[in-house]
Amino acid sequence: MTVNAVTDASFAEVVLESEKPVVVDFWAAWCGPCRQIASSLEAIADEHGDKVTVVKLNIDENPETTAKYGVQSIPTLLIYSGGEVVHTVIGAKPKSALESELFGVVST
């Protein structure tokens, strides 16, 4: 499974209407810490894709959604369940810490 991109146009359908919890990685190509966590998010998507969907939203290309959710620092991970933000993770963290935070708020 790969981490797919979402846009302002596809956000509602892919994220808010999802049956599964969704982790949205707000990132930018110029962000070093964003690149650091990319492989961890790919691994989480591969290992836990049956329980959670992981997507990326480029903040430079999608300012509407970025502003709507008040994202001011990247990387920011917003975890959605039932169309609502249930948890926020700001900054680069190791895969184990990301999994711990993610599965601490998402029932598996």
Q: Is 77 a catalytic residue?
A: no
Mean pLDDT of 12-16: 97
Task: Give 29-41 pLDDT, tens digit per residue.
Answer: 999 999 999 999 9
The residue from 23, 34, 55, 102 that is catalytic is 34
Q: Say if residue 108's pLDDT is above 50.
A: no
Q: Is 31 a catalytic residue?
A: yes
**CB-neighbour burial class of residue 68 (10 A; exposed 0-12, middle 13-18, buried 19+):** exposed
First to last CA, the chain: 18
pTM beyond 0.85: the answer is yes
Residues 6 or more apart whose Cβ sits within 8 Å of residue 29: 58, 60
Q: Which CATH architecture has domain 4-97?
A: 3-Layer(aba) Sandwich (3.40)
